Amino acid sequence: MPVISKLHRSSQVVLVVRRRPHAVNGGGFVVTNCSQLIVFRVNGCGVLGTKGELVLRDGNGDALLLIRRKGGIIEALSMHKKWKGYTFDYEGSKNLVFTLKEPRSCLAKNNAIRISTEPKGTGGGEEWDYEIKGYFPDRDCSIIDSVGNVVAQIGVKKEVEELLMASKDLYHVVVKPGIDQAFVFGLVAVL
């Protein structure tokens, strides 16, 4: 499991995600805990953000993770869209943490989204270390490690769904104990 922030590893936690309008800081979303304190923010998902670039920030606004979409002619010829997540060391240089491969046809419910982490070889012989099973647009999916353990569950509570009349702007993420929440929300940012 990649560690982006040692501060965000704890017992199982349920966090609430609220999408922001595209006009506010480029869109994105805000993640709060049960006390409604901001734990994470993601900027850059909208009209005012840099295309193909997302920034995961902690509750204080400090950047934890820079996520960039690989582009150009190589991606145009590829079967996958690739996103790379970088963290910064104390000297400010970027370190690759993960690569997410999203199938070209992400609208199909059965296409797997695979994540490989750095350093290589942490997945027990697989080409990938994590996989997203389910269908994120319905807010019904899980992040699963290469052994088959669920590390995070994304969903909408029934009472919230009824209250918001099936709005996709508010949903919850359950992160299992010992899992780096910043890593999980870096993946959610791409989704």
Is 128 contained in some domain?
Answer: yes
How many distinct structural domains can be found in the chain? 1
Is 116 contained in some domain?
Answer: yes
Give the pTM.
0.81
Is 3 contained in some domain?
Answer: no
> Is pLDDT larger for residue 46 or for residue 147?
147
Is 8 contained in some domain?
Answer: no
Which H or E run includes 19?
strand 13-19
Which tokens sit at 58? 């902690």
Neighbouring residues of 18: CB distance < 8 A, sequence distance ≥ 6? 29, 30, 31, 32, 169, 170
Is 174 contained in some domain?
Answer: yes
CATH code for position 20 = 2.40.160.200
Q: Among residues of the chain, what percentage have pLDDT more than 90? A: 27
pLDDT number for residue 150: 95
Residue 119: pLDDT above 80?
Answer: no
> Is pLDDT larger for residue 4 or for residue 131?
131
Domain of residue 36 covers: 13-190
Which tokens sit at 116? 């490989």
Residue 115: pLDDT above 70?
Answer: yes
SS3 call for 40: strand
pLDDT number for residue 125: 52
CA distance 65 to 71: 19
Which H or E run includes 145?
strand 140-145
Which tokens sit at 79? 């079967």
Angstrom distances, CA of residue 150 to CA of 60, 84, 109, 126, 183: 29, 22, 19, 17, 14
**Mean pLDDT of all residues in the chain?**
77
SS3 call for 96: strand
Is 5 contained in some domain?
Answer: no
